[in-house]
Structure 1
Amino acid sequence: MLFELFTACLLALESAGAETRASSDPVEVAFSAGLTNMLSLSHTERVKYDRLFTNIGGGYNSNTGTFVCPTAGIYVFQFHSVAHQDKAAWLQLYKNFEYVASTYGHTSNDYASTGNSVILHLSKGDEVYVQAVDPAYGYSTNLYGATNEVYCTFSGYMVSPVYEEIPGNGK
């Protein structure tokens, strides 16, 4: 009886124009990636974190440095970095080509660390990535990393799925 009632509610939502999660959408989404090499970014470019610690749901692409949202929901993103000695790290988080948040670190005669985190509402297919700031605004970005020393990371995970309204087609 309960199953039939639940099914009837889902059918009513669909006919009213509400989106339900597609059976192929992952119910768990989480990724964490790190940088395993020194990286000097002399212009605005995405950081391609090359070591995958986890990629549940398959949203992160280490070839592009981009997370593509596989399931609509509320997500937490964190990005951290260490600048090479006497250098700077100036990074920005973007969602679909729009600025969200920054980190900046610079110090003389030492390494500088930075970090930030945000909570974002994402739709399926939204892109989130970290990119260097154009050095014309100040310093170029020099990230510290080695195979056995991963200090620069980019991570994200879904806190909760969100079933969004799709504009109706006259129903």
Structure 2
Amino acid sequence: MLKENTFTGVELGSQFLYSEEHGAIAFSATSSHNQNVLENTTVKYHTKLVDDGDSLNLSSGVFTAQSSGYYMFHLFSTSRQHEELWLDLRQNGAYVCSIYGFTEFDWASAGNSVILHLSSGDNVGFYSRPGHESHLFGSADHVFTTFSGAQLVSDFD
């Protein structure tokens, strides 16, 4: 499986801070095939690498916060050759940030990270920008579209 050069680490806090009621929340998901993401629709992921807290819905591509606190999110994707990708991170439907990639005659890659404060029940997803269709590259042995997140600190901590 070919991957871009990325490495991310996040400490989720001391083991002593977590109980059955307030466990660690982290997820990482990938997409393993080409997909066209129509405007205002979410990127769909196919494989959960990690999902402590079962908070990412693969079929919708949306993460739902189980508890209030600060969260870090990472998104990375590669466009198909000579195609555009333009994805927006949205929290509860409101724009937060974007990634954009396009090159003539080649593949384009883009990534971004953000830290957000979420309340319990808030949702976060990556959507193709209004007025644009994103053409994402992927195959079983070339996984470039990823979405990861972790709660850095709970409001209960």
Q: Which is helix-richer, 1 or 2?
A: 1
Normalised to the residue count of structure 2, the TM-score between the two structures is 0.84
- Equivalenced residues, count: 140
Contact residue 91 and residue 104 of structure 1 kept, 8 A: yes
Q: 1:123 to 1:25 in 2, by over 3 A?
A: farther
Tell me, yes or no, if structure 1 residue 150 matches structure 2 residue 146.
no
User: Among 21, 24, 36, which residue is 2:32 paired with?
Assistant: 36
Residues 66-86 of structure 1: per-residue CA shift (max 9 Å, x gap): 101012111000111000000
State the structure with more CA Rg: 1
Aligned 1:8-47 pairs, distance under 5 A: 25-47=21-43
Query: Which segments of 5 or more consecutive residues in structure 2 lack a partner in the other structure?
Result: 1-18
The alignment-based identity, stated in percent, is: 35
Distance in 2 (CA, whole Å) between partners of 1:112 and 1:125 is 34
By how many angstroms is 1:93 displaced?
0.4
Runs of 4+ aligned structure 1 residues displaced above 6 Å come to none
Aligned 1:15-164 pairs, distance under 5 A: 25-134=21-130, 136=131, 139-163=132-156
RMSD: 1.7
Task: Indicate the residue corresponding to 2:11 in structure 1.
Answer: none
Contact residue 27 and residue 71 of structure 1 kept, 8 A: no
